[in-house]
Structure 1
Amino acid sequence: MPALHYDIFPIVLRFLRQDRNTLFSCILVNRTICRLAIPLLWKNPFTSNDSLEEINQYQSALLIRTYLACLTEDERRYLTNKGVEIRNFPKPLFDYACFLEEMMYSCPLYNSTLCWILLEYHKYTKDRLNGIRNMYQFDESEIQHPLINSLYSMLFKKSKIKTLGISIDMLKIKDPIDQQLFDNMNSSNLSNLSWLIIYLKDNSIGLEVNQHSFDFLLSIIKKWCHKIKHVRISNLLVFAHQNLPKIQEIISQQQRLVKLELLTPKQNVIINDILLNLKSHDFSFLSEMEIHDTDLSDNSLLEGLSSIDSLKSLYLLKCRGISMHNVHILSDSSISLQKLKFISNEFPPGLIISTIGKSLNELKTNQLDKEAAELISYNCSESLTNLEIVGVNLQTQKIFYDLIIRLKLNSLKISCCRESTGQILNDLGKNLPNSLKYLSLFGLYTFKGLTVEHFENLLSNCNASLESLEIDGNINRNFLVVIFDYIKNHRNFKSLIINLYGKGFEDSSLLNDISKYGVKSIVN
């Protein structure tokens, strides 16, 4: 067998980037693969195999040990000045800090340093360390906070970090020694940052050192980060009545900002100020916005939103304040949305669709009513190709049918209210537009209101020639038989996705039979 060309290995290893165990095995093969696999392992080292859960406590302690071996002399001197002694670890083969690209949360680093302290100072065994269920029972702050500061200093200078989540307790700047550590940064790889997430939910908000430290951190971000493309501000409940001007300044200086998410559990002065100041800056690249729980009745806020001519995608969740009294502001806007998510707001979707949403390609809403359906049909019948309706019930069933049959949809996703699922699916097929290729059914559970006959009627009466079907629920083998019969009669069918949430089918032979028809089947 001929040897693989070097250029093939990076492609192969990228497919393994979420499989840490296999990547660890790869680094033992030879030097070439080791050099390629190490950056993938250390791109986001605090994750487990599925990249969702953190690594275990013992692994995280070893990770910190490796990072500490990469500290510069300045950072080691800082730790000595703070009374923290660390061993002279052997110099690692790689400067692992250089490979970090993503740190979405500060908590993993906080917990990992604590694990290292327990391992190094208190001689915890691997089993004892992994057996800890509550990390908050320990107080090692005198050692832990300087360690965290030194690690962030190193990572800010060395890493290729592109995604960073910051919070109010991320750094602890208590004295001039702490401040000097970061003031000495003559350059910073933070300039590569493209996604900034600001978390401001912390029970110790009242501590002056936390507020001072967070203000200092924002100053660092403001100084070095000018290429951010995506900003998310989340969990602002603790700052409901407190302005943080540096957040606004950070956003304002991002000339190539593409996406802005303002996610807050209730009305907030920071969110208001950001919206208010949108019209006073040039955000010509800003194309996506997400806004939660915000009162837009203040005309100046709505004017700020409507000033973003480049806006193409808008997600409004639990917002209020747009009415016939101020909708003219949107009517006068040059915005032409392509994508709208409109969920649980206190005003009708028609106010958006009839103004800045006349050319929608994609729409998701749980607020379909007769007026909205008429406006969608009137304004978007030629442009709308992807539609997702959440919570179809018997009251909106006819409105829903009358709408979709008039559209040129390529993709349709629906979820029905539980008690009406069977009846709605029973009549859905004959109302599907001929253009439809992709159908997704969410919340499809085999309870009393849904039978195999309902599902069979859906597919047998289907006007469209489907190429893909996605089902989210706990359907049984009988449903799969119906799908198989449909596939045998429709040879252009290409993919079947079933989300069973790990339950699986007792008999997978039908899936094998389906694959023989050239259909790609994915069961999650």
Structure 2
Amino acid sequence: MTCQLPSDCFNEIFEYLEKDRLTLHSCLLVNRLWCELSVRILWRNVWDFESLWQQYPPSEKALSILNTLIACLSSESKELLYKSEIPVLTITSKLPLFNYAAFCKILSINYISKIIVYTLKDEPSRNHLIVEEIVKMFANQICSLRKLSYYHDCHINLYFPYFPGLKDLSELHCSSNLSSNFFYQLSQICNNLHTLNIEFNHYNVSLDELKSFISLQSNLKVLTLSANHASWDDIIPALKNNSKTITKLCLYGNRTNLPFSFISLFSNLQEFTLSFVDRDYVEDFKSLKYVSFSNLQTLKILYKGPRTEYNIKFLETNGKNLKKIYFGVSNDKSIKLTIANFCLNLRSLFVIFDRNELEILKTIFNNCQHLESIKIWCGTRHLTEKEVFETIANYSPNNFHELKIYNTSHSVVSLEDLESFFISWKNRIPKRLLYLIIIKYYFVSLDNYEKNMKLIEKYENLGIIKLRTKKFEEERNEEGY
């Protein structure tokens, strides 16, 4: 006799599959209960922003999702679209199997707009109509939205409807030049944001409602400010209410005269990211070089950052607490030596070593005895794989277990060098599995590809190493570029 589990048990089981989309798709065909449970999870973030956002023209999957949303529209909305003579999209009176829109927890208005603009080509008035009807449907159907992405779109001038589901919003990505009505509406029902990402644009709009909305937040932890064509200085006073709660701060920009002294307010800051196109744009960073952030554990400078002398002083003041440093731009030797001398509790490091800086790498390993992971560029202008392997084998501390290699040119590592490194790692005491992560797959030369892979497989089977390959874009996304 078969035993049928209660639906609540199935629901708990399916929740563990949230990130395994392939398995969830397989469950769609089992029975109606499994189908409904899978659909609810798959449609939470149906747009799968990491992979679909960059696709242009939009994929068939994206167009299929759009047609499904059209099918979910109310009879009044469908009638309105039908009268507008929109032949590209399938407008049907047949109701879909589920109310898919109600399952959404993550919504990007701009991505919907992008799909519609592509589908309807040069019909801006009809684009506006469809986007507005779909957003209106979401407003009526979603009872609890987790994440909203909504930036100013010159092609779509959207009137944002009243949206009760925003009361539970925890993550907002927006531009500063959205209508004041949008921020006013948010301030009435949404006061518990966890993450806020604002892109500052040069359009002449009042920021009063945006400032009011920010000042009403009570638990803001992650703040990202991007100064594309404008400055964030006007909203700084509104951030004071969250000066104790913000633990992660990311600043991006491509303009001059940006203020940085306000960062000293964030006494509980744990992660700090900077990325600019010119060092002159972060000149005001000098006001922070002696400020101590006792909880700061992660420092990332993804592109251009402060001047060398400012970086050195900041590291001297805060280096003892740092667990992770990520410098995605070349720096002179003094920066790396400062890391070696003042950042002794590091767990993870990425700096770019030039080909004559092997001794600095050895010094970092000797001084930073808690280091567990390092990312290194290898290539013509940088260290060779052989140099890196020998240094890792002979100088890395006991807890070290992860090596990331980004190849800037085709690898010149020989089969003998590779096996010598694996043997050295095998004989280390204490023994640890080494995670070898290749970010750009020039690691194995085409001539010796099969031999290299057989050798790697041999030492994987022995439990010595674990190889993983990553796309360059994947690594950049993980680090917040």
Mean alpha-carbon deviation: is it higher for 44-53 or for 344-353? 44-53
From 412, 418, 433, the counterpart of 2:373: 412
1:216 corresponds to which of 177, 181, 204? 181
Q: State whether residues 149 and 172 of structure 1, in contact with CA within 8 Å, keep that contact through their aligned partners in structure 2.
A: no
Q: Is 1:148 equivalent to 2:131 in the alignment?
A: yes
Residue 260 (structure 2) aligns with: 302
Task: Indicate yes or no: 2:346 matched with 1:384.
Answer: yes
- Tell me if structure 1 keeps the 8 A contact 2:291–2:314: no
Q: Which residue of 2 aligns with 1:336?
A: 295
1:293–1:320 Cα contact (<8 Å) kept: no
TM-score (norm 1): 0.71
**Residue 369 of structure 2: SS of its match in structure 1?**
coil
Give the paired residue count.
445
1:272 and 2:272 matched = no
Amino acid at match of 1:379: F
The equivalences for 1:248-263 within 5 A come to 248-263=211-226
Contact kept in structure 2, 1:262 and 1:291, CA below 8 Å: yes
CA distance in 2: counterparts of 1:49 and 1:294, whole angstroms? 24
- Distance, in Å, in 1 between the alignment partners of 2:203 and 2:378 is 35
For 2:152, give the aligned amino acid. Answer: I
Aligned residue type for 1:447: H
Report whether the alignment pairs 1:317 with 2:275: yes
Map 1:61-100 → 2, pairs under 5 A: 61-69=66-74, 79=80, 89-92=93-96, 94-100=98-104
Q: Secondary structure at the match of 2:300?
A: strand
* Rg (Cα) greater in structure: 1
- Alpha-carbon spacing, 1:481–1:61, altered in 2? closer, same or farther (3 Å): closer
Partner amino acid, structure 2, of 1:137: K
Range that drifts further, 58-67 or 97-106: 58-67
| 1:313–1:498 CA distance, 2 compared to 1 (3 A) | same
Superposed displacement of residue 315, structure 1: 0.9
Output the amino acid matched with 2:188.
K
Q: Give CA-to-partner distance per residue, 1:334-379, whole Å, 9 cap, x none.
A: 5431111123324123232122343011111244544333433333
Could you tell which deviates more after superposition, 101-110 or 45-54? Answer: 45-54
State the Cα distance separating 1:163 from its structure 2 match.
1.1
In 2: Cα distance, 1:245 partner to 1:426 partner = 56
State the partner residue of 2:150.
166
| SS of equivalent residue, structure 1 residue 496 | strand
Cross-structure match for 1:425: 388
1:20–1:325 Cα change, 3 Å: closer
Q: 2:315 aligns with which of 338, 345, 353?
A: 353
Q: 1:85 deviation in Å?
A: 8.8
The superposition leaves residues 283-334 of structure 1 with CA deviations (integer Å, 9 ceiling, x where unpaired) of: 3221001112367977xx3331111011100011236469999746452445
* Residue 257 (structure 1) shift: 0.9
Quote the residue 1:244 is aligned against.
207
Gaps of 5+ in 1: 115-133, 201-210, 502-524
User: For 2:387, what is the secondary structure of its paired residue?
Assistant: helix
SS at match of 1:358: helix
Deviation at 1:410, TM superposition (A): 4.4
Instruction: Please tell me whether the aligned partners of residues 232 and 262 of structure 1 are also in contact (alpha carbons under 8 angstroms).
Output: yes
CA distance in 2, matches of 1:5, 1:36: 14
- Tell me the amino acid that sits aligned with residue 306 of structure 1: S
Change (3 A) 1:19 1:105: farther
Matches within 5 A, 1:16-27: 17=18, 23=24, 26-27=27-28
Aligned to 2:174: 198
1:282 aligned to 242, 252, 258, which one?
Answer: 242
Match of 1:101 in 2: 105
Percent pairwise identity: 18
Q: What's the CA shift string for 1:85-117, capped at 9, x where partnerless?
A: 9978245554332211112352335534x6xxx
5+ unaligned residues in a row in structure 2: which ranges? 473-481
SS at match of 1:260: strand
CA distance 1:151–1:485, shift in 2 (3 Å):
closer
Query: Could you say if the C-alpha distance between residues 434 and 243 of structure 1 is closer, same or farther in structure 2, counting changes exceeding 3 Å?
Result: same
TM-aligned CA distance change 1:409 to 1:445, over 3 Å: same
Instruction: Please list the CA deviations of residues 107-133 of structure 1 after superposition, one character each: whole Å capped at 9, or x if unmatched.
Output: 335534x6xxxxxxxxxxxxxxxxxxx
